[in-house]
Amino acid sequence: MGSYILKRLGQSLVTVVIVVVSVFMLLRLMPNSGYFTREDYVNMDQAARTAYLRNLGVLDNPFVQLAHFAGGLMKGDLGRSISLYPRSPVSSIIAEKAPYSLCFGLASIIISMSLGLGLGVLMARHKDGFADWMGTLYVTVVRAIPSLIWLFFIQLWISGLMGWPMIFYLDRPVSWILPTISFSLAGLGWYAIWLRRFMVDEENRDYVKFATSKGLPRTRVMRGHILRNAMVVLVQYFPQQILLTIAGSLLIESLYNIPGMGGLLVSAVRQQDNPIVQTIVLLYAVLGVLGVFLGDLLMAFVDPRIKLADCSGKGA
């Protein structure tokens, strides 16, 4: 088990390095004019431009730049923003934004998980019944209608209806409600539909028939056998979902004017702010890989058939 974990961590590290290096190198293929704002570019002469670029370090050999980035990374220095927040350290930009996305994300995970899983159980229990029908309708609506439409609807109508502010204020908790709800809706449907699906799968299995023939009441078969086994399939996705909440949501955060991580990557790419792009890619890659890894560990923990072993172990 210990050696398995080490091996997986090693593989994860390789994955992260490949992702980060590829993105890093791709960024160096961008035209140098992208590092200037329009007016700076017009106002500077060729010499000034070159001096500026040299100062940024983007004229060096890309491998030298990479070594520079790696060296800084070792010391905990992620570089400074070029154009988005000129001269600010990237780490402090992220440290300032991430908590917003993380808080909204975690709150919405708690809501969507508890309500979604509850709805899923209800749908599976009353399959083809009213609850199932309503649940399916909900999921279909949430998935089929572009989120922008219902997110707008929630922001405009519900805020008007309840008299809540239309944008986010840090010091007014009532303004936190609508974004949290908006964050939760899609996830809620996701949990419900997948749990329902896995429960329906489990329900048709022989062991459920046998458990019923032993005389267990349906509620106990549902809880102790069907739900339990269905959750095992679902549980491996939880860690990555929790970890990746840090990415926030471009749409919701810009609708409510939340200073989170949502739009950061897109604007950094657009403005060719290499240090920010590199850092975010690194961050998401690490969290993504870590999420999958934790998911596998969790899976092995809840499913006795899975043994964490190297390939030398018996194939089951």
207: β partners: none
The label of the residue with tokens 């590829």 reads 22
Distance CA 112, CA 106 (A): 10
Would you mind telling me the total number of residues written for the chain in this entry?
316
Sole binder of another protein in the list 305, 311, 312, 315 (CB under 8 A): 305
Distance CA 232, CA 303 (A): 7
Site for another protein in 219-258 (CB under 8 A): 220, 224-225, 228-229, 232
Q: How far is the CB of 139 from another protein (least distance, A)?
A: 24
Distance CA 224, CA 291 (A): 27
CB atoms within 10 A of CB 2: 7
Number of residues that bind another protein (CB under 8 A): 24
Sole binder of another protein in the list 115, 286, 298, 302 (CB under 8 A): 302
Kindly state whether residue 268 participates in binding another protein, applying the rule CB under 8 A: no
Q: How far is the CB of 133 from another protein (least distance, A)?
A: 17
Per the CB < 8 A criterion, the answer to whether 277 and 23 are in contact is yes
b (16+ CB within 10 A) / e for 209-239 = eebeeeebeeeebbeebbbebbbbbbebbbb
Per the CB < 8 A criterion, the answer to whether 179 and 258 are in contact is yes
Kindly state whether residue 129 participates in binding another protein, applying the rule CB under 8 A: no
Sole binder of another protein in the list 75, 215, 310, 312 (CB under 8 A): 215
Sole binder of another protein in the list 111, 211, 244, 308 (CB under 8 A): 211
Sole binder of another protein in the list 161, 214, 310, 314 (CB under 8 A): 214
Q: How far is the CB of 311 from another protein (least distance, A)?
A: 19
Kindly state whether residue 304 participates in binding another protein, applying the rule CB under 8 A: yes
Residue range at the interface with another protein (CB under 8 A); choices 31-39, 43-51, 105-113, 301-309: 301-309
Q: Within 13 Å and on the Cβ side, how many CA atoms surround 160?
A: 6
Residue ranges in contact with another protein by CB under 8 A = 205-207, 209-218, 220, 224-225, 228-229, 232, 302-305, 316
